[in-house]
Amino acid sequence: MGSLYDEYITLQYRFKAQKQELQEFRTGKRYMKLQDDYRRIIAGYQRENNKLRRELADEKAHVIDVRKRGFEDADQLMEEHKKNYRKMEKELDWADKRYWKLQRETDRKIEKLKEEHQKEIEKKDALIQELTEKLERAEARLRHDSSNTGTPTSKTPEEKEKRIPNSRRGSGLSKGGQPGHEKHDLEPPKEEEITTVLERKITDEVCWNCASQDFTETEEYDEEDDKYEYDLEISLVKRKIKYRLFRCNACGNLVKARYMPEQHGKCHYGSTVKSMILSLINTANASINKVPVMIAGMTGGEIRPSEGYVAKLQKKSAQKLDAFRDDLRMRVIGLHTVYWDDTVVMADKKRICMRFYGDEKIAYYVAHDGKGMDGILQDGILSALQEETRVMHDHYSVNYNSKFIFKNLECIAHLERDLQKNADDTGHAEYLEIKELISKAIKFRNDLMEKGKDIYPKGYVERFHKKLDSLLEKAEIKAEGNKSRYSGPPERSLIRRIRKYRDNYFAWMKDFSLPTTNNLSERSLRGVKTKMKVSGQFATTTTADYYAALRTYIETCRRNGINEFDALIRLSDGNPYTVEEIIDRK
């Protein structure tokens, strides 16, 4: 922040100095100085010319005087004076020619100087414009936060107030429990549920009656003052698995139970350990090198899996979910409203894409090398959706490709941030008025839905769009006059986008069952960003897709009320929940 502010001050000083220099050019001070120099030179030549003319006049007067006095050699003297006169005339002609030559050269130099000065002025004007735009960008960056860009609130500078977007309305009540509110404490366990009893003995207590500290233990307890606590103990299990032999009644052959795929080695980790490892990586977002340390800490150092084992477990567990992901993808295709979004993550020092599809009950993740159409078609979801399906997104133009036939819904939260950003960058209040208009319409819709209604009052939608048109027209006039290369193009682009995709932005006004934002997708991808903060990057796009597969399984189970640890134990046992068990269960 300090370096940015120093740069801002330096730009301000440079701008002031250049503005003063430019003002001297524009006021003509330097040009007037050149004119003064030119006049001094011409005046010198004129003085010399006048001097020669005076000398010539003196010679003529002398000749006349000589003739009047009748000197005998007057004719001879006249000839000499004529020669001098012709000589002086030649010198005068030469002086005149030199004068006009100098005049032309001076004019040319002045014109050239004017051209150079004009170019210098244009150059400085361009520099001033560039510095002004840099200053605008710097000031805009200082204004950017979570309310006008996609910047997460966690990246708010310390000196700025953290602005957390929240669509919920304040109740006007103080924080915390309200008067008369029933207090909820942990319920004591039943006597038959108690597993351990601890006794608290006197340490440094003093007798309240006589202040003595000499006590003798009794067999009595204060039953009314019993306390209870819930705690967790991790008990290490070292299990031996025996395989009993069975004799075939038909042929007498001895048969034993098959090994599980994970039990081919002499000794292996159980499903609880595996589930803990998978939970730490994919839910707690712990890095691979931290997981062995954490497991060792939980087990007193008895169990410490290698990093290689952790990586292989992630891969094998994800591969067990191939059929689950295929089934879940078909469920996504059958949804009435599909939310989707993607975000950039790193893998092997390259930018790759993590994508989400789903709704309140389904979370489908997938990783790709890039954000392009190839990956979307490879997913096979958008291309398979029907015409009646609604897709909520953050204005991805790829969704309007002719390959797709579904109906698009645009995220209002992103639109409101763009409106706030344009208002902050341009100072045009119309964008704040549009934002307020939309916000009031959403709150009014929420109030109506709470009352069991599914439609706005008659004429409300028409009045909304009429007001929106009026504000867009005013904003468009101001946008045409905005010549800033920084804020002008985005401003005009936003107006065109609202006009072009108006039906997609405001479909929720006609159908209350449709969402207004794509926040569900953004929340679903938030854990992926947390994973990046902890681990930095994935090894490859393939390992990123392993993470996507396990997130798909865990998140879908959680959204349907299934304990994720239980789900991971079933996965570790080779018997993961099926899509039908998760979604279709009663």
Q: The CATH number of the domain where 40 resides is what?
A: 1.10.287
Residue showing tokens 């964008």:
431
Tell which of 139, 155, 171 closes a domain. Answer: 139
- At 159 the pLDDT is 57
Residue 45 within any structural domain of the chain: yes
Residue 466 within any structural domain of the chain: yes
Structure confidence by residue, pLDDT tens digits, 512-530? 999 999 999 999 999 898 8
Residue 295 within any structural domain of the chain: no
Q: How far is CA 113 from CA 179, 224, 494, 552, in A?
A: 84, 103, 46, 73
Least confident stretch, 76-80, 275-279, 298-302, 414-418 = 76-80
Better-scored residue on pLDDT, 577 or 161:
577
Residue 529 within any structural domain of the chain: yes
What value does the mean pLDDT of the chain take?
A: 84
Structure confidence by residue, pLDDT tens digits, 388-427? 999 999 998 999 999 999 999 999 999 999 999 999 888 8
Structure tokens given for 58: 């003196």
Q: How many residues does the chain have?
A: 586
Largest CA distance in the chain: 176
- At 194 the pLDDT is 87
- At 316 the pLDDT is 93
Structure confidence by residue, pLDDT tens digits, 258-286? 766 666 678 888 899 999 999 999 999 88
The DSSP 8-state label assigned to residue 574 in this structure reads T
Task: Count up the domains in the chain and report the number.
Answer: 2
The per-residue DSSP string of 431-495 comes to: HHHHHHHHHHHHHHHHHHHHTT--SPPTTHHHHHHHHHHHHHHHHHHHHHT---TTTHHHHHHHH
Averaged pLDDT for residues 207-227:
79
- At 152 the pLDDT is 56
Neighbours of 431 (CB within 10 A): 27
**Domain containing 449: what range?**
318-583
Q: How confident is the model at residue 207 (pLDDT cuts 50, 70, 90)?
A: confident
Tell which of 123, 139, 155 closes a domain. Answer: 139
- At 146 the pLDDT is 56
Q: How confident is the model at residue 382 (pLDDT cuts 50, 70, 90)?
A: very high
Residue 502 within any structural domain of the chain: yes
Q: How confident is the model at residue 312 (pLDDT cuts 50, 70, 90)?
A: very high
- Which of 380, 346, 350 lies closest to 544, judged by CA? 346
CA-CA distance, 407 to 390, in Å (whole number)? 5
Evaluate if residue 160 carries a pLDDT over 70: no
- Which of 412, 417, 446 lies closest to 432, judged by CA? 417
Evaluate if residue 574 carries a pLDDT over 80: yes
- Which of 233, 280, 277 lies closest to 572, judged by CA? 277
- At 568 the pLDDT is 95
CA-CA distance, 320 to 335, in Å (whole number)? 25
Averaged pLDDT for residues 242-251:
86
Tell which of 81, 105, 139 closes a domain. Answer: 139
Q: How confident is the model at residue 173 (pLDDT cuts 50, 70, 90)?
A: low
CA-CA distance, 581 to 20, in Å (whole number)? 77
Evaluate if residue 461 carries a pLDDT over 60: yes
- At 267 the pLDDT is 86
Helix (H) or strand (E) holding 194: none
Residue 21 within any structural domain of the chain: yes
Which alpha helices (H) appear in 536-572, and where do they start and end? 541-559, 564-572
Residue 299 within any structural domain of the chain: no
Residue 304 within any structural domain of the chain: no
Neighbours of 197 (CB within 10 A): 6
3-state secondary structure 4-32: HHHHHHHHHHHHHHHHHHHHHHHHCHHHH
- Which of 569, 529, 568 lies closest to 550, judged by CA? 568
- At 502 the pLDDT is 95
Q: Provide Rg for the chain, Cα atoms.
A: 45
Averaged pLDDT for residues 575-579:
94
